[in-house]
Amino acid sequence: MVTLVNRAYKFRMYPSLKQQELINNTIGCSRLVYNIMLSKKKDNSKLTSYDMIKVLIVL
């Protein structure tokens, strides 16, 4: 019998101010793109993945 052991690790990061700005900008852009794509999908539920890629390229 094989026993499976789950392990968890916690890491703490201390980014510099420049790194914090870069992280915040990246997360902000990702959130913006996600929300735009979500609203497009809600407006037109028949959009396929291919159509979503076309919209993403325009952004």
pLDDT tens digits, 6-20: 899 999 999 999 999
pLDDT tens digits, 21-49: 999 999 999 999 999 888 988 888 888 88
What single DSSP character describes residue 37? H
CA dihedral 37, 38, 42, 44 (to 10 degrees): 20
With a threshold of 0.95, does the pTM exceed it? no
The per-residue pLDDT for 14 is: 96
